[in-house]
Each structure stands twice: as structure tokens, then as C-alpha cells.
Structure 1
């Protein structure tokens, strides 16, 4: 028995969580403003004293007994999963309500008590108790209608008593109901619902309603949507394919929802989430295709096995799919027959919508050597189809045939069947978003460059055809990436700068601050020099500088170093450098940076006469991370299987670094540019920090440049080990501690100096980096 996870449960849980958060925010604001609440004192005055206590005690005992009975019975009759789901929902509901109650209690600590409201109304466990009962009742196994009704009634009675007794309010009870249903949906999705396979005898009885007598019914796996399939041998010698459509099946829902949100109008797929709607649509498409003269499986029966479960019986499609045909069998006559079949569909305004190698083929019930086109898989099609949908069918058929017989033969067959103008009209639609999902998957596996070759060939035979791709997407993936990155960067900026007093920077010496800004700009130019020097292809100079600003924008939302590596690698690949060589070049920049960084740190530490390890101690967090990282690396290196797996994964990225380094020695000017840029990058950072210190230092304070260099090099190494974006927190702490301990700079000077340094080198480039990121994306440079 399967346990599918329904997407509707997750969507319901997400909506409920959003409402819970909004409730918490609104109630917190109301408490802070001293808003009035419900008062049940008048209602309590008309009730006999002690009656509420007796009713409440009885209801709570009944709820405990009912829940215990359901748990024990489910363990005996069903299984652990059916018990886990309601228990998970109940525990989650109680925990969520308790958490919100605790937050509201914190919010009321400094506020005046509200009129007519007991002190413990927002912290009473009754709310969590009722929420747990609601979640349990909502997710308990099907059946037991009397027990379920008693549970609902008991939960409602407890909630009413809580209001009448003054330990809760109507608003709190509504919140309890919201939490209960939200956690129930979350439990249904996380644990999954138990779906019992349909009984074979029940299927046989349903077929008998339609005059179909099944001698044998055998399971036959699932279809592409995850619905169970059965094969039935009928008493008249025929065979039927049975599909059980259930609302519990959510396979493909997220893919269809993604396409629905990202694709425009007719290109977007239909959700058709309900099982009854899907069955009705399948029957409509089958009848429409057959009326158009196309041989399609006929619907034999459309019945109901249980509420929400529909039985769809169709003729067994006896076809050989195009994927199973030999190349010699795909003749020009078969190609013409396939186009003729598609034209017959489109003449009746019927669009197939899912042409791929498994839904296009030939009949399998004809004598050997006789090939007649046949189509299946009409479930994703549409009737009264607009011209764009039929054109998308044409583009899909052309792409499918090109993947099997070649671009030239496929285009020639389309021109013979449709004409040059009609064939060339699909040129703007030859793009991945316009193809069915199955065909897109085939192209990703077989030939990613097929669409480009098709477009070039069509442009050759019809130069007048529109070459600009049609806009089929609402939002392109890179637009979504830009929005996500910009949102993450904005949140990080707000969070990090919320507690920073930027007013201290106003006291900086303007000339030293200007010099520090010049060094920060030099860092971008030096980083561009490194990339231009180590990449074995000409790169536009100023565009490469823009890429470094774009990397500064991305790195604020990625761990230290990863953002720059990703952007630079993407830029080099887009510049036309083969992927292995591009990865080797970017890896070489990191290797040379490391080879320059470590000697400079040792030399500067020696020149200062200060031992780095004794005078500059990293934070305990960094030490723990370093120890754990070292232990993980040692475990990988010592275990043969893990060592082979890691080596296999890293070989494509690192295998070309050493040959690339050897190639650099054959090009001394490029080597000089790359190494010189690496040294200049480090020197510019050191001078930027040095000038930032001088901007706040008193005239009599001596600031040792070499000591500042030690601090920067050590702090940068610690920041690289930190898992936070750009080393946030770790770099600032390391630099401030290093300036005071190693360079002997007072903390009153070190704090604003480090703040100015980080603003110039980390925060300030974010805005121009955002503009550069968008500009480079529009130019498709990254």
C-alpha cells in the first residue's frame, strides 16, 4: 500500500503557517496597544457554580478515552504509519500553540493587563490541548464515523467551556482551530496518507455495469502520471487498459504548477487536479481525436470505485512507439503519414499537447511491412485549440522527427506536408519552453544542440522567416535567480546593518578615507587582472571588471569565495572557453592566490617580530570549525571508498589545474599579469585597511604597515573558513582583535577603522554590483 503525499496538503499547511504568523503579529500589536478582549463574565453569571468544572472534566476525560481507543484500534487493525500521522499532527499542533503562547507571554511582560482578561489567558495549555485534539481528529484513519463525530463534539465542547470559564477568548479559540487544521495538513503531507489498492472484485463489478465481463485483471505498473494501471482480458477476446485515477496521486503536480507559473497563456499546462475532471478530459480527448479520423484508444467505461477514485477503461493501444522502431523502418512514407495524422487533428482544432517518442508510433496489429501512423497519450491535449497550440504541436513533431531521422529529412518531410511558409512559421517556437515535458527530457538526454541546428536549417530554406524566439515565458529562470539573490542580499543587509552605528564613520579624515576608497576600487581592477591573465582566451577588460562587481553582489548571499568562483566560472564559459578549461582557469586563480597569501603572511609575521600564533588567536568557533574540518578531511582520506568517491567528484574540476599551470609558463606575459594581479589584490586590501586605520588615528599614533598586513592576511584566512556569507562576523572580529593585539591600535580606533574598511570593500560594492549583475545578465555574459 502506497503512502502518497498530496501537494494540496502542503499548500494548505503553508497557507495556515502564514496565517499563524500574521495572527501572532497582529495580536502582539494589539497587546502593545492595550486593545480590549472578549469578556464572558455575564455568561458565567447565569450558570450554576461548579457546572463548568464538571462538564470540562468529563469532556477532557472523554477526549483522552477516545484518543486512546483510536490509537489502540489503529495499531491492531492498520499499522504504525496510520498511528504516526495523527500523533505527529497532535504533537506538532500542541508544540506550535505552546510556542505562540510563549511568544505572546513575552509580549505581555511589559504591557499593562488587558481589561476583562485573566493573566494566564495566553499561556493556558487548554488552547494547545484543543489544537492537538483537532489535528488528531482531522488526520485519524478513515472509518469509525461515530468515534470521529464524538471527537469533533468533544473538541468543540472543550473550546466553548474555555471561553465561558474565562481562561480563553473567541480569538484564541479561532487561532486554536487554525493551528489544528494547519498541523493536520502538515502531518498528512510529511507522513503521507495510506491508500489502499482498489479491490479487483470491485473493479470487475464496476466494469460489469458497462457490459464488460473481465476474465482476468492483472496489475501493470503505473502510467507517466503515477496512476495505477491494470490490464483486463475481456470475455469477447479483447483487452482493456484500466487506469485508476485518485485525488491522492500528486505526481507531476509541482512540475505542472511550475510551468503554469512560468509559461504564458496557451503554453502553460492545465493542472486538472481532480480525478473526475481528469477522467472527463481523457474521455473528451479520445472522442474528439476519433471524430477527427485519428485512430485513438476508445473509452469503454468511466465509473467510480469510491469517493474520489475514478475508473477509466480504454481499449488496449496496440502500437509500437517511435523509440522502439529501427532507423530503416522510419521511411519517408511513414513520415508523411505522421504529418497527415497531425494535420487531421489540427483541422478539427484538436491539439495533442504531448508528442514524444512514446506517444507517437505505428500500429502493431497490421501485417509485417505495413506501417501506419498512430498516436496515443491525448490526456494532455485540448479541443477548440488556438493556433498557437497547434503550432506548438507542429514544432514538437518536427523536433521529434529530427531527433530520429536527422534535421534535413525531418524538415523536408514537413515542407512536403505543410509547405515552406507553414514549416518556417514554427521557427520562433523551437525552444525548450515550447516543447512537451517528455520531449524536453529526451533532448536533454540525447542531443542538446538539436534545436539550434533545426533553427539554422529552417533559416537557410526560409530566410524571410522570423528568427526572433517567441516570448513563451512569463519569467525566465535568470530573472527568478536575480530576484532571489536580491531578496537574500537585502535581508542580509538589513539584518547586519541594523545594529551598526554608521555615524562613527563621519569622524574619519576625508583624505585618508578617499585613499582607502581608491584602494578598494583598485581591488576590483586587480581581480580582473587575475582573471584576464589566467584565462586562455581574450576577455573584454571593462566587462571583466564589471564581473568582479557582480561577484561582490553575489558573494553577500554565499559563503566566502563561492560566489566569486561561480560568477567567474560562468563568465569564462559564456566567453566561449570550454567548460573543463574554464574550471581549470578559475581553479588556478584560487591556487595562485593561496600560494601568494601564505608566504606573504609568514614574511610579514617574521618582519613584525611577532608570532602570529601567540599574538593573534582565532575565535573558539573558528577553532572548532577548523578541527571538525580537519577531522572530516582525515576521515575521507583514510577511508578508501570515501577517498575514491571524493576523488571521482573533484577530478573534473582539479585535473586541469596542473596542466594549466604548466601552460602558463609558456606564456610569461599572461603569467606575469595573473601573478601581478594577485599580488596587487592583496596589497590593495592591505593598504585599504591601513588607510582606514589612519583615517581615525591620532597624529601621534604610529601604525605599522607590516603589522596591519599580518592582521589582514590572518583575518582574511579566518573569514574564508567561516560559513557565513563573505565571512560576516568572523572577519570583523578577527580584524578588530588583530589590530588591538598585533598592531597595538586602541580599540576606539580599530572599531571604526574596521567598519570603514568593510563598508568600502564589502558593503559599498553591493549597489554597483547589483547593476552590473543585471547588465551582464541582459547581455547574457553570465
Structure 2
């Protein structure tokens, strides 16, 4: 081959290598980039939506930050600062480009594409706004028509974000320079507040969009770089291979010159934040006393793991030995020598002796260093060939652990051991190895909850009675009573979350409706006499509830005192879901009156069952009667009532169809049915008691219906009594299913919806419902508190 051909081939290879360096592989996509892009896009959408919807009603953007007057010394000084900052941005871009050409050429490609996308988006989006809302709205986003700095700011930000300067030398300086330029542009009038926000958001979105779509050059060190770092740290390795690539970190198995096995864990800078949601969710759900103060960053988590493992081995507990904690660029490298042995789950194969005392003894020594493991399971407890026990995986370990955290460790080991070898050997190992006493075992019994167990242990528990058997084995009734209530482990219960969400939605619905009503004007024309009638009708409901309870109690009770108890339950309705506080208070009242606990619960349950049995036929009959008039007889309810009934039936059907809610309803109703059937049969055999119960339920419902009717008449509106019954009972059923205290929010929304569905204008329905709830829910509460205190002082509840 001629030399000329060789030179041409070399030139082609060099050119191909040069081009490939500007489009390097492999590339990765960072999860945090996607999260930031979604957040920036949400801000951009909100800004554009506000501009489009506000239209001509939007205040003058220049009035938010007035421009500095021309021909003043201040303006000249700001102009000089602006010019200097602009030159600084150009200088930083030049330095970044030169460094990228030397070390990270793909950053140049990404930055140029980001700049082009940012300029294009900055020009196209206002054109779309111009078509939707006119020229004035588009001008708000663009900024001043003359010498606007929007596009240059967008281009500069897109370049910096696309070049992926994060955590690099010029990142902080570039942000500071851009911030100075934006501030000077606002003062000089070349940007307004909306246009500045628009320029910044478009630039950020453009840069992140390119990074998410094309990826970035991995910051994770290569295997060769890690081996070099290990060699510099005095740990040269002869073999090195990937073992596990988990979220945010990768583990390698290596061997040194002596044949010793090493585990090398490397934090991946590109995937930091992946486990953040999981750890943050654990912090939000569980109390700090349970989770301690977990490190939310992967780097902090690895540093804590190295610390706790070192403390553990220093105390003579068998655990992985930390050999080095090294830095490899932006990554962190942890080198450990793992421990041998078989996991505890191998006990079924005979690899683990039935005596688990050494395992609990090792855990006791670990807790002696004030370290809690935090993730004990049948996988992380290792049995050594000599019979000793060690612990692996200190990822969730906590130094300076509290007593509760150490107790949760004991519970986790106890449950894991019981699943593998049985309850009796696990409890025997606890008593011989951890040296527990009766008081400690009473606390451990209270902490036997799936909530705080590691996920593998929770999976192994499914379909077993291990927890119940452990509680029975650790039972010390007298000691448990002396030990007091167990600590609450949850910060937010699912019911609390549902209550907050439901209350928020209901409040939003009501607030939206209230925005269309001038309450001051409506209440100014209210008829006060009917307001008083609503309050009196509300008072009747407590008498009806007392009569219904009297019907099923064999002990003679004063009607006045029983009515006072029903009034006291209105105070509990402020803090408990519907019927919960009412039922509990009635049971307590009957017990204080000499009724046995089981009988009291059955009496109250029968009263609630009869209330439902009477209310449902009343609802159906009134629904049918709503279609009857003097001129026609229809076998169907009126159209308005059909809407209310259909909505109620749909809500009940959704609850009945979903398996979780169906199982929950059956779990709640099954004990109730078993308790109430004998009492219900006894009640049906006594006509007097049955009539008294039905009368009490009818008086109770009639009081609420009359209060709703009076509330409507206070605002010069009315409905037929049958329609009122349907609307109230349907709303009451929906409110009883709501987990909020007293059905707050759900009852109001259901009543407003029912009244408007029957033809009542929303401007009347909302104040009427507010008056009704004030008369039946808010006004009785202070009186109920007084009744509650009085009954407590007299020992009646």
C-alpha cells in the first residue's frame, strides 16, 4: 500500500474518532434530571396559564419592579454592572467550551443543542400564546418590545444547563453571573418579572430536555479508575467483577494478592436520588424514634454504614470489616471484607442449630455499642461454621440508637428466627441470649407489628400465625398492664391520609361554590325565626337518640341523663369519624350504669342496626312518594330524587365492588352481626321495646329533616317533605362513610349536591347547608363539651 493511502486511512480514522468524541457512548440518564425537568415544565405551564387566563385583567408587569430612570448615576452604575456580568458570562462560556473540548466533548454537543432548543422554544411559545390570548399576553412573556434580554438569558441558561456543569468548578460562578444579569435587566427595564421567569424556565427546560433525551457522560468511575484508586489506597486487586447494580450504587467482588475476597461498593453520582423517595417515605410514615435520623443522600448513607460497621467489629461482633473508604472523583468507594457463614433461612436444611442463644447474645453485644442494625432478617443474620453468629448489610444501621430502635432490632430477629425454626426455640434463644425480663418481653410483645419489620420478613409472615403465637409466648398480663401503653410507631396512618385528602377535596369543592355566592347579602335577608326553628329541631334529635337507646337496655335509665349523654357525643364528633365517638360513649355510659361490657356493646350495636333497618325503608318509601301528586300517580320517584338516589347507589356500589373496601366492610360487620342477632331477636319478641326503638329513630331522623327544612325556609326556599327526607338520608349515608370527624366536608358537599339536584339554586343551597350544619353540628359542640365534663365529674361516663 502506498504511503499516500496509509495517510488517508489514518486521517479518516482520526476524523471518525474526533466526531465520535462529540457523540460519546455510553451515556446515562439521571433520574434527578427528569424530576427537575417535570418541575420546571410545571412552573412554565403555570406561568403561561396565568398569563392566558388573566388576559387584559393582568396588572402591568413593569409596575412590579419599576425601571431605574434614565440619565441617572444609578442607571449608569447598573449598566456597567450589567455589561461586566454579560462579559463574565461570555468568558465563562469560553472557558467551559475549551475545557469541554479537551476533556468532555459531548458537553459541547449537548450545550449547543440545548441553546438551539431554548431559542426556538422561547420564540415559538409566545406565538402560541398570541394565538390563544392575543398580542398583549404574548408580549407579557417576551418582555419589553425594544431591547428585550429574554432570548439572550434563555440561551445562556440553556448552554450552562446543557453543558452539565453541576458540581463542577464553574457552576456556582455561572449561576451568580446569570442572576446578576437578570437582576440588572429588571432594573434597566429590558426584562419584566414575568418575562424574566419565562426566560429562566425556558432555558432550564431546554437544557434538561436535552440531558434527559440524549443522556450525559457517566460520572461513575470506570472499573479501571476504581482499580487505580484501590491500588493507591494500598489495596491492589487481582480480579474485579460486577456483582450487584442496585439503585444508586454498584457492588463489585474483588480479590487481592493473598486471595482474600473483597466487596467494593461504589456510590453512583448519576443515580443519586433514586432511593430518596423510599427513604423519605419511611421518614414521613414512621416516627423519628423508629427510623432515627437517616442519611437521605447515598454518600451520607455509605459513610454511616462504614462508621457503624467499624463500631460493630470493634466491639467483637462478627460483621464485615471495613478496610478503606476512598474517593474516586465524585464517587465514594467503600471496601469491606465480608464474613462467611450461612444465612439463618438455611435452618430448614439443618445448617443452623435450634439454640439461637448465640444470635441474641451477639445482638446484645451490638446494642452495647449503641448501634441498631435496622434491617435484621433471615438473610442478614449469618451463622458461622463454629456456631457463632454475625450480621451483614449495615445499610440502615443507626449509631447512638435509642432504646426503641434497639427493641425493634430484637423484635425483627425474634420474628425472623420464629419463622425459620419455630416460636418456642426463638423465645428460648431470646431469654438465654439477650437475658430479657418480664417487663422487656411485655414491651416486645406490644411491638410485634408488621409495620416495622423488614420487607423479607413481612413476606415470610403472610399466611402464618407467627405474630399471634409470639404474643402468646411473651404474654405477661399483669406486667403488660404495669408497663403501660406501647409507643406509637406510625407518624401518619392511612386513615389520617385519607381524612386529609378527603377534607381537602371537600373544602376545595365548597370553596369553589362559595366563590359564586355573596354570603353577606344572602344572610342579610335571612328569616331569623326559621333559624331558631332549625336549632330547636336539632335539639329534638338528642331526645330521639336517647329513646332509641332506652328500648334495648334492661337497666332502668333516666331519660334526661341519657339525653345528656347523646348531647355529649356531639362534642366527640369534632374529633372522631361519624358514629365512632357516639357508639363508644354510649357503651361507656351503659357500663357505668351497671350493664356488663359485652351486653353494653351488644345493646348499642342493636340500636345502630335498628336505626339502619328503619332508615332504609323510610328512604325508599319517601323516594317513591316523591313521585305521587294530586294530578298523577307514578310508580317511580320524581326525577330529582332519582338523581340523588342514583348518586348514592353509585357511591355504595363503588365501595362494594372494590375488594379492599369490601374486605374491610366484612371485617367490621361480621363481629357486629354476631353480637346483634341474639339481641335483635329478643327485641323483636317484645313489641313495646320495638315500638319505642322505631319511635326514637323516627324522632331522630325527623329532627334532622325539620332542621334542614327550616334552614331552607330561612332563605325563602322549600321542598316537599319526602324530597327533604331523601336528600338528608342520602347525605347522611355518604357522611357516615367519610373518615373525617363528623363527616366534615363530605356531608356539606353531599347536601349541597342533593339540594341543587332537586332544583334549589346554589346561592340558596350553600347558606342553607351552612345554617343546617351550624345548628346540628357546630352549635351543639360547646354544649356537648359541658355535658361531657359534667357527666365525667359525676362518674356517669
Question: TM range, normalised to the smaller chain?
Answer: 0.5 to 0.7
- SS of the equivalent of 2:263 reads strand
Q: 2:390 aligns with which of 347, 369, 374?
A: 374
**In the superposition, relative to structure 1, how do residues 357 and 135 fare at CA in structure 2: closer, same or farther (>3 Å)?**
farther
Equivalent residue for 2:767? 755
Task: State the shift of 1:475 in Å.
Answer: 5.0
> Does residue 356 of the first structure (1) align with residue 382 of the second (2)?
no
Query: Matches of 1:769 and 1:282 in 2, distance apart?
Result: 53
8 Å CA contact retained: 1:353, 1:380: yes
Equivalent residue for 1:424? 439
Equivalent residue for 2:244? 220
Q: Which moved more, 1:241-250 or 1:710-719?
A: 710-719
**In the superposition, relative to structure 1, how do residues 696 and 89 fare at CA in structure 2: closer, same or farther (>3 Å)?**
same
- SS of the equivalent of 2:379 reads coil
1:74-113 alignment runs, 5 A limit: none
Task: State the shift of 1:594 in Å.
Answer: 5.8
**In the superposition, relative to structure 1, how do residues 362 and 299 fare at CA in structure 2: closer, same or farther (>3 Å)?**
same
Query: Matches of 1:755 and 1:199 in 2, distance apart?
Result: 69
Structure 1 residue runs without a partner (length 5+): 108-117, 535-539, 555-562, 637-644, 698-702, 741-746
Task: State the shift of 1:606 in Å.
Answer: 0.9
8 Å CA contact retained: 1:7, 1:189: yes
Q: 2:777 aligns with which of 756, 765, 778?
A: 765
8 Å CA contact retained: 1:327, 1:404: no
Equivalent residue for 1:439? 454
Name the count of aligned residue pairs. Answer: 682
- SS of the equivalent of 1:41 reads coil
- SS of the equivalent of 2:627 reads helix
Task: State the shift of 1:286 in Å.
Answer: 2.8
Equivalent residue for 1:519? 537
**In the superposition, relative to structure 1, how do residues 660 and 178 fare at CA in structure 2: closer, same or farther (>3 Å)?**
same
> Does residue 39 of the first structure (1) align with residue 68 of the second (2)?
yes
1:210-359 alignment runs, 5 A limit: 210-222=234-246, 227-232=249-254, 236-247=258-269, 248-260=271-283, 267-307=290-330, 309-326=331-348, 330-333=352-355, 335-359=356-380
- SS of the equivalent of 1:765 reads helix
Equivalent residue for 1:501? 519
1:72-151 alignment runs, 5 A limit: 129=151, 132-133=154-155, 136-137=158-159, 139-140=161-162, 142=164
8 Å CA contact retained: 1:719, 1:728: no
1:563-620, Cα deviation, whole Å (9 max, x unpaired): 869999999999999xxxx99999998898665434422223213546899998769x
Equivalent residue for 1:460? 476
**In the superposition, relative to structure 1, how do residues 573 and 345 fare at CA in structure 2: closer, same or farther (>3 Å)?**
farther
1:532-547 alignment runs, 5 A limit: none
Q: What's the TM-score, normalizing by structure 1?
A: 0.62
8 Å CA contact retained: 2:570, 2:777: no
Q: What's the TM-score, normalizing by structure 2?
A: 0.61
1:644-700, Cα deviation, whole Å (9 max, x unpaired): x96867764788999999997994676868987776666445433444455566xxx
Query: Matches of 2:664 and 2:550 in 1, distance apart?
Result: 19
Equivalent residue for 2:429? 413
Task: State the shift of 1:549 in Å.
Answer: 8.0
1:660-671 alignment runs, 5 A limit: 667=680
1:127-178, Cα deviation, whole Å (9 max, x unpaired): 7656754663454263799999999799679747845763336x77886687
**In the superposition, relative to structure 1, how do residues 527 and 708 fare at CA in structure 2: closer, same or farther (>3 Å)?**
same
Query: Matches of 1:569 and 1:161 in 2, distance apart?
Result: 67
Task: State the shift of 1:759 in Å.
Answer: 1.8
> Does residue 604 of the first structure (1) align with residue 617 of the second (2)?
no
**In the superposition, relative to structure 1, how do residues 459 and 658 fare at CA in structure 2: closer, same or farther (>3 Å)?**
closer
1:396-427, Cα deviation, whole Å (9 max, x unpaired): 44454445455554343333334454x73464
**In the superposition, relative to structure 1, how do residues 669 and 519 fare at CA in structure 2: closer, same or farther (>3 Å)?**
farther
8 Å CA contact retained: 1:686, 1:709: no
8 Å CA contact retained: 2:614, 2:694: yes
Query: Matches of 1:666 and 1:386 in 2, distance apart?
Result: 50
1:175-215, Cα deviation, whole Å (9 max, x unpaired): 66875798699979999976846533334444443443243
**In the superposition, relative to structure 1, how do residues 249 and 678 fare at CA in structure 2: closer, same or farther (>3 Å)?**
farther
1:388-407 alignment runs, 5 A limit: 390=406, 392-407=408-423
Structure 2 residue runs without a partner (length 5+): 1-26, 51-56, 553-561, 589-596, 685-689, 739-743, 793-797
Query: Matches of 2:278 and 2:782 in 1, distance apart?
Result: 30
Query: Matches of 2:122 and 2:579 in 1, distance apart?
Result: 41
| Cα RMSD, aligned residues only | 7.1
**In the superposition, relative to structure 1, how do residues 736 and 312 fare at CA in structure 2: closer, same or farther (>3 Å)?**
closer
**In the superposition, relative to structure 1, how do residues 76 and 480 fare at CA in structure 2: closer, same or farther (>3 Å)?**
closer
